[in-house]
Amino acid sequence: MSNPTTPFSWQMPTATDLVTDLPADFEVFGQAVATSMADLLGGASGYILSKASATDMDFAWIANDQGDITGVTAGIGISGGGTSGAVTVTNSMATAIDAKGDLIGGTGADAFARLAIGTNNQVLTADSAEATGMKWATPATPVGWTLLSTTSLTGASVTISSISGSYNELMISVEDYFTAADSSLYFQLNANAGANLHTRYLLAAQGNTIQTSNYSTGTESYWTLGSCDNADNNNACIINLPAYANTSSRKMFSWSAEFVNNTPLKELTFGNGAFNSTSAISSIKIGTTSTWSQGTVKIYGC
């Protein structure tokens, strides 16, 4: 017996072996086979055979949940799964979306729902009353200037009264005005006739000349903002009245004006002042020492 089989090298009887040698030959052969197959013995129910090393016929029995995937279980937000055949899993959040712009929002622990897209120009807003805690809503109108009144300048003065006190600040725009003769532009608050007005010019420029500051003594009933005549209708003046509706003892204001005076030269003034009164400002007079040829007064609230 000298012809080993390949690839296991098991010894087989040969044609020249004596009949009396066959039992021993087959014993050697059988023992070799049994030794090679020893690792295939045992293994619990459901176990699978696995290579233990690179050595020929070196196997081990292992549990079926090792190595290859034996099952797919769908978790939160996923559906499908299985333990055999072609396994499909689906993203449940993705399938909840029905249209362009849809969102997925949480509705509680391990729960979600679709939030449909809003309409054009709406914004996403937190709202605890909604299932997803969110909603699409039209944004509030931005804070800005609101035109309260428009009045044409006529006669020697115009008075705008019953001004709403629901705003934080007023802006008075006197536009495209000029007068019938050389005159001054002034304004008055609440028809004031007392000595409680204070003004200081911050800057007054006439042509190339810078004038010195001018301070009123507080005896006037109105503020003079500058002079003008009938040579130009592009004159303009802006007056700002912050906190005009407060009932404090003093209300500050500021102005800027650009006009043609009787030189004629362009004149630019900046100034500020204070109105010592505990009354909210509810009326404004725009006047001149001549008469108005044209012009417009616009009052804005913010």
Q: What is the pLDDT of residues 3-57, one digit of tens each?
A: 666 666 777 777 777 767 677 777 877 788 778 777 778 888 878 888 888 888 8
* Whether residues 18 and 105 fall in one domain: no
Q: What's the burial of 257, exposed, middle or buried (CB within 10 Å: 0-12/13-18/19+)?
A: buried
* Whether residues 90 and 54 fall in one domain: no
Of 108, 137, 166, the last residue of a domain is 137
What pLDDT is recorded for position 270?
Answer: 80
What pLDDT is recorded for position 130?
Answer: 94
Which among 201, 282, 278 has a CA at the least distance from the CA of 241? 282
Q: Tell me, yes or no, whether 99 lies in a domain.
A: yes
* Whether residues 171 and 246 fall in one domain: yes
Of 83, 110, 137, the last residue of a domain is 137
Contact yes or no for 228/261 (Cβ under 8 A): yes
Q: What's the burial of 244, exposed, middle or buried (CB within 10 Å: 0-12/13-18/19+)?
A: buried
Share of the chain above pLDDT 70, in %: 80
**201 has a pLDDT exceeding 60:** no
* Whether residues 255 and 209 fall in one domain: yes
Contact yes or no for 288/186 (Cβ under 8 A): yes
Of 137, 166, 182, the last residue of a domain is 137
What pLDDT is recorded for position 203?
Answer: 56
Stated length of the chain: 302
pLDDT tens per residue, range 186-196: 888 888 766 56
**180 has a pLDDT exceeding 80:** yes
Looking at residues 285-290, what average pLDDT do you find?
90
Q: What's the number of domains the chain is made of? A: 3
Contact yes or no for 187/284 (Cβ under 8 A): yes
Cα 258 → chain centroid: 40
Which among 157, 158, 141 has a CA at the least distance from the CA of 149? 158
* Whether residues 93 and 53 fall in one domain: no
Q: Domain holding 244: CATH number?
A: 2.60.120
Contact yes or no for 66/76 (Cβ under 8 A): no
pLDDT mean across residues, the chain: 81
d(C-alpha 34, C-alpha 283), whole Å = 116
**123 has a pLDDT exceeding 90:** yes
Range of the structural domain that residue 107 is part of: 72-137
